[in-house]
Amino acid sequence: MINTTTEEFVRLIDRIEDCNLEFKTAKTKFNYDYDLPDYCAALANERGGKLILGVTEGADKKGKVVGTSVFSGTHNKLSNKLFDKLGIRVDVEELYYEGKRVLIFHVPSRPVGQPIRSTGKNYYYPMRVGESLQEMDDQTFRNIILESAPDFSAKIVPDSGIGDLDPSAIVKLRHLCLSHMKNSNYKTCSDRQLLMDLGLMCNDKINYAGLVLLAKKEVLDSILPQTEIIFEWRQVSGKIAHDYRKSWREPFLKIIDEVWRELEGRNIRTPFQQGFFQREILAFDERSIREAVLNAVAHRDYNISGRCIFVTASPDGFLIESPGGFLPGITPENAIFNRAWRNQRLAEVLEKTGLVERSGQGLDLIFEQSIRSGKGRPDLLQSTSHEVKLFIPASLKDPDFVLFLEKITNEKQIVLSFEEMLELEDVRANGVVSKIEHAKKFLELGIIEKYGKTKDSRYMLAHAFYAHKGVKGVHTRLAGLKRSKFKELIVAHIQKNDKARIDEFCEAFPELPIITVQNLLRDLRKEGRLSFIGSRRKGYWTLKP
């Protein structure tokens, strides 16, 4: 337990606010769900500091004690709750100064190489910029990630030399660099100079990035067998035995096109009608497949031996498994927007060849293409702490969604951003919008409609979508009958069991937030169909006599 002395407290408030010290007036309120985790995460990301509630910034920029009543009687529980939210221990101290109560949050530094993620309601990875909080920029995030992670791909391979490299792979490297960077020096310089300029050779020795991209097969067999890529095709998804299998353990620049060639011959074309014209969507999109393979090669953990990149494909989709879990701070949910590099040197060379953009991971392109093609969102949720799994759907889910968005964007003369496309896919699939500014824009454009009460409101694609699809009745059912359906299920459950607690309904309707379940129950009580008996915590719902 930390006990700040009066002298120490006076020295604190005699300072001017900076990135490690934050004063907040918070006389009667301070948002627990939004502001508290954001400020604590930001201070942790700035190597630690103190958040003091009940102190305001005076005219001289120093702290002035005004006192606070927030979290009165519950401040001793905040440390555990913040640990659950942020994964760090924040000690919370109640202190009285000149009869006025203040709260001091002692925030530790983030671990080396690991940014602290907040709740995401205001910020995902907050940082201090001047006197305010902002979302952490890519460069700062990347610098934190690279603090403790030595770049494997930049390490020199002992006893290596240019003779370990495949001459045809070097020719391919030179051609790619010439095409992308338009540097005439790459046309005439020696192989040795080319490798040195690209950071693949130092003191006549090759690093591991050079091995991955250029090494002869026998060298990879001996030194880095985990560079192998295995491809399996199954005509029926989920079938145990594969129908076709092929593997490559070659310099990557020689086999870069091979996975796509295996899929190209198996590509399925799905036709659909648009007025008098027939269009088609391919099961496998070439650019998305190439990006997925490049992403796996650039970001896999080469320190894990005995594991290779594994590709499984079927008419249902494309699954690529890359050894090594996400880097600290990256999750399946935020991987599209957050950038981190496990093999920086390898990523830099792939950027110079024009094969990848080091500023991004290609995931945004893969997700956008899949959604724009009406196949839904790709999936990273099967990933574990030991491997990243990316599934790209191949089958068409809703071609009318594609045509509806094209119709809207043409009529309104607008361009939808990648984030907006993601939001609209979430509306189509789940009826949710995460950012209020997107919801407002979509409502104004007539792309979506809102239904339900304020706190548990849901969204759906506009009536025009269902009219375009020729199923107006579906719109009526989703908008008007869905809520009544849940009500009838609640009543039926109580009729069968005599009584029920709210957690039973949360288990029965996992797709609904608890606030929605609570509002449904309140509506049924107002309608005179249900009664609530007992205390708020231990009470239960029953049919009204």
Comparing 214-218, 451-455, 469-473, which segment has the lowest mean pLDDT? 469-473
pLDDT bracket for residue 429 (50, 70, 90): confident
In angstroms, what CA-CA distances link 506 with 417, 452, 503? 35, 18, 5
Mean pLDDT of the chain: 86
Structure tokens at 329: 């701070």
* The pLDDT value given to residue 334: 80
Q: Is the pLDDT of residue 472 over 60?
A: no
Residue with the bigger pLDDT between 46 and 1: it is 46
* Residues sharing a CB contact under 8 Å with residue 430, sequence separation 6 or more, in sequence order: 511
CA distances from 81 to 76, 85, 86, 105 (A): 10, 6, 9, 13
Backbone dihedral angles phi then psi of residue 87, each to the nearest 5 degrees: 80, 15
- pLDDT number for residue 465: 67
pLDDT for the residue 325:
86
* Per-residue pLDDT, 143: 78
pLDDT in tens, 167-178: 999 999 999 999
Q: Which domains does the chain have, with CATH numbers?
A: 6-145 (3.30.950.30), 154-393 (3.30.565.60), 399-470 (1.10.10), 475-543 (1.10.10.10)
Higher pLDDT, 271 or 442: 442
Closest among 309, 312, 310 to 235, alpha carbons compared: 312
User: HSE (CB half, 13 Å, CA atoms) of 399?
Assistant: 15
pLDDT for residue 341: 75
Alpha-carbon span 483 to 471, nearest angstrom: 20
CB-CB neighbours of 31 under 10 Å: 13
Query: How far from 67 is each of 99, 143, 368, 425, 499, CA to CA, in Å?
Result: 9, 38, 50, 47, 46
User: For the whole prediction, is pTM greater than 0.85?
Assistant: no
* pLDDT tens digits, 54-97: 999 876 778 899 999 999 989 999 999 999 889 899 999 999 99
Instruction: Determine the pLDDT at residue 475.
Output: 46
DSSP code of residue 117? P
Task: Please write down the HEC assignment for all residues of 144-175.
Answer: HHCCCCCCHHHCECCCCCHHHECHHHHHHHHH
Residue with tokens 């079927």: 314
Task: Quickly tell me which residue has 């093609």 as its tokens.
Answer: 373
Six token digits for residue 291 = 């990006």
Grade residue 129 by pLDDT with cuts at 50, 70 and 90: confident
Residue 218 has pLDDT above 60, yes or no: yes
For the ranges 170-179, 349-358, 455-464, the maximum mean pLDDT occurs at 170-179
Residue 65: partners with Cβ closer than 8 Å, 6 or more residues away: 13, 54, 55, 97, 98, 100, 102
Torsions phi, psi for 135 (to 5 deg): -65, 135
Quote the DSSP letter at residue 226. G
CA-nearest of 365, 232, 200 to 295 is: 365
Predicted confidence band of residue 241 (pLDDT cuts 50, 70, 90):
very high
Tell me how far apart the alpha carbons of residues 352 and 354 are, in angstroms, rounded to a whole number: 5
**Predicted pLDDT at 184:** 82
pLDDT, tens digit, for every residue of 493-521? Answer: 898 888 888 888 877 776 566 777 887 88
- What is residue 181's three-state secondary structure? helix
Position 476 confidence tier, pLDDT thresholds 50, 70, 90: very low
Mean pLDDT of 276-304: 88
CA distances from 301 to 141, 240, 268, 349 (A): 20, 27, 33, 17
Task: Tell which residue, 529, 541, 463, has the closest CA to residue 500.
Answer: 541
Residue 128's nearest CA partner among 22, 27, 228 is 22
